[in-house]
Amino acid sequence: MKHNFYSSEDVENVPEFIEEALKYKYAPVQLVGTGKTLVMIFFNSSLRTRLSTEIAARKIGMEVITININDAWQWELEDGSAMVFDTVEHVKDAAKVIGTYADIVAIRAFPGFTDRTADYADKLINTYMRHSPVPVINMESAIRHPLQSLADLMTIREHVKVENPKIVLSWAPHVKALPQAVSNSFLEWCGAAGHEVIVTHPKGYELAKEFIDGHRVEYDREAAFADADVVYVKNWSSYKQYGSILSKNTDWTITDQTMKLTNNAAFMHCLPIRRNLVAMDNVIDSNSSLIYEQAENRLHSAAFVLKNLI
């Protein structure tokens, strides 16, 4: 693995990486992190990521310190600017200083949704990585969530026993404008793992070309779900009309009728899930649901990434 864990491109061979991560999951714990410190920095809320990453680090012997950026202050991202407004510290100073204290740094920073170009440049984490003397883990940036995708692919590898499964990524309705990060990364990692994904969503919800390339959009929802082996469900806001909610159409809610179109597909979601909006209780709680397996694999994907960076 490369110096950081930012995207699938930091992993040389994604299929092998997934196999190794699964082996590591069942191997005896080794305290490879003893004497090392992980600093986790949150610009945004978290439950699973915070708990799973911290526990993974502690299980291999690391010390962990978690900071909400509100415990400190906002960072300046622009080089050369006169810092006369709200930002208190330049990201390059923060990165260099934290890098003298920590052995690995993990960052969560969501998109601002006001400027698509800025969000898709993923400036905060990229600037941080450029100045950090120590490895950086992406705990969900403006456009990517690689720890989630690694856990997702580990879960598919473990539980979907079909060769060349048909994987569908389906948009679902939501009441808030959500990032595209989970969907983007799912496509990126599936592509790197050799899976073409069928993406289905209402018109206007097309994802960024850089992520959709190598996959296939199917606007005919029934055709998309037909014979699917995996249904990965996620809401995202529009990329084209950036950050907008174009539809709250509950025809896109996943129901048992939807699932009957499939080849007894596995139901997947990264959580938190809005029940009876994104999908109905009887789908989420069905035997085909892998949501808790995905969540559990967050622990193992984080542990494997940490071990590789140490």
Applying CB under 8 A, which residues contact a copy of itself?
37, 39, 42, 45-48, 50-52, 54-55, 58, 63, 65, 67-68, 71-73, 76, 79-85, 88-90, 93-94, 96-98, 100-102, 175, 271-277, 281, 291-292, 295-296, 299
Alpha carbon 153 to its chain's center: 11
Q: Which is nearer to a copy of itself, 247 or 276 (CB)?
A: 276
- Among 177, 186, 101, 100, which residue's Cα sits nearest to residue 140? 186
Provide the minimum distance between the beta carbon of 31 and a copy of itself in the complex, in angstroms, as a whole number: 11
Q: Which is nearer to a copy of itself, 55 or 226 (CB)?
A: 55
Q: Beta strand 89-90 with 266-268: parallel, antiparallel or unpaired?
A: unpaired
Q: Which is nearer to a copy of itself, 66 or 263 (CB)?
A: 66
Is residue 147 within 8 Å of 189, Cβ to Cβ?
no
Q: Which is nearer to a copy of itself, 44 or 126 (CB)?
A: 44
Provide the minimum distance between the beta carbon of 279 and a copy of itself in the complex, in angstroms, as a whole number: 11
Residue owning tokens 């006169």: 82
Q: Beta strand 104-108 with 63-68: parallel, antiparallel or unpaired?
A: unpaired
Q: Which is nearer to a copy of itself, 16 or 285 (CB)?
A: 285
Six token digits for residue 129: 């990585």
Those residues with Cβ within 8 angstroms of residue 153's Cβ, 6 or more apart along the chain or in another chain: 14, 18, 189, 190, 193
Q: What angle do CA 242, 143, 91 make, to 5 degrees?
A: 110
Provide the minimum distance between the beta carbon of 175 and a copy of itself in the complex, in angstroms, as a whole number: 5
Provide the minimum distance between the beta carbon of 237 and a copy of itself in the complex, in angstroms, as a whole number: 16
Q: Which is nearer to a copy of itself, 14 or 295 (CB)?
A: 295
Those residues with Cβ within 8 angstroms of residue 51's Cβ, 6 or more apart along the chain or in another chain: none
Burial class (CB in 10 A: 0-12, 13-18, 19+), 177: middle
Provide the minimum distance between the beta carbon of 72 and a copy of itself in the complex, in angstroms, as a whole number: 4
Provide the minimum distance between the beta carbon of 87 and a copy of itself in the complex, in angstroms, as a whole number: 8
